[in-house]
């Protein structure tokens, strides 16, 4: 007991070395640098995706054409109302324009990827099937037949 007290009262505890702090921070930094994907689209529509279990990954970004569907967000467009809208290339487009914009996106892809191009439909949970069907028939019109209903991972019964 006496010995213990003596030990506690000693004033010169060595300080914790912070020399390895930069290394730790660098490791974290490299982790985030490698997983970072810079956002290239500003979302103009609400976009909470439905959930599904049998998903396949879309990990090759260079062959994906993204189409967002959803209600316009309040902050950006107060005067657009509540009807779901389609967003491509950072702006709202109508259903009839989908084909044109999709072809434009397709033509900016390298030649060898055009045949495997996939259209990723990112539709909000609040969207009705009507607009999706219109979108699909427009895509069929321009012969873009591979589509992907992009979802979150999770039990599908959550949707119901």
Partner 1 sequence: MKNHRNPQEVNAGSMADIAFLLLIFFLVTTTIENDAGLNRSMPPNITDNSVDIKERNLFEISINDADLIMAEGDIIDPKNLREKVITFIDNGGLPLEAEGYCNYCKGNRFADSSENPDKAIISIKAQRNSSYPVYVAVQNEVIAAYNDLRDRESLKLYNTPYKTIYSDYYDEEISEDKKKVLKERLEIIRALYPQKILEPETVNN
Binding site for partner 1 (CB under 8 A): 18, 21-22, 25-26, 28-29, 32-33, 35-39, 50-59, 64, 118, 120-121, 123-130, 132-133, 136-137, 139-141, 143, 145-153, 156-157, 159-160
**Smallest distance, partner 1 to C-beta of residue 26, A:** 5
Tell me the two tokens of residue 88.
């491509």
**Smallest distance, partner 1 to C-beta of residue 28, A:** 6
Nearer to partner 1, 55 or 77 (CB): 55
Please, what sign has the CA dihedral across residues 135, 136, 141, 144? Answer: positive
Nearer to partner 1, 10 or 17 (CB): 17
**Smallest distance, partner 1 to C-beta of residue 94, A:** 17
Tell me the backbone φ, ψ of residue 91, rounded to 5 degrees: -145, 165
- Angle (CA) 70 76 80, round 5°: 60
Q: Give the closest residue to 61 by CA, choosing from 101, 118, 111.
A: 118
Q: Round to whole Å and give the CA distance between 91 and 113.
A: 25
**Smallest distance, partner 1 to C-beta of residue 44, A:** 16
């Amino acid at each position: 007991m006496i010995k213990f007290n003596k030990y506690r009262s000693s004033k010169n505890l060595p300080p914790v070395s912070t020399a390895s702090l930069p290394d730790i921070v660098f490791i974290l930094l490299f982790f985030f640098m490698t997983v970072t994907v810079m956002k290239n689209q500003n979302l103009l529509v609400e976009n909470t995706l439905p959930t599904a279990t049998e998903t396949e990954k879309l990990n090759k970004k260079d062959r994906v054409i993204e189409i967002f569907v959803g209600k316009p967000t309040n902050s950006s467009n107060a005067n657009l109302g509540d009807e779901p809208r389609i967003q491509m290339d950072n702006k709202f487009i109508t259903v009839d324009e989908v084909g044109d914009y999709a072809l434009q996106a397709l033509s900016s892809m390298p030649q060898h990827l055009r045949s495997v191009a996939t259209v990723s439909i990112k539709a909000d949970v609040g969207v009705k099937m009507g607009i999706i069907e219109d979108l699909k028939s427009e895509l069929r019109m321009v012969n873009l037949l591979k589509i992907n209903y992009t979802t979150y991972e999770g039990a599908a019964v959550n949707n119901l």
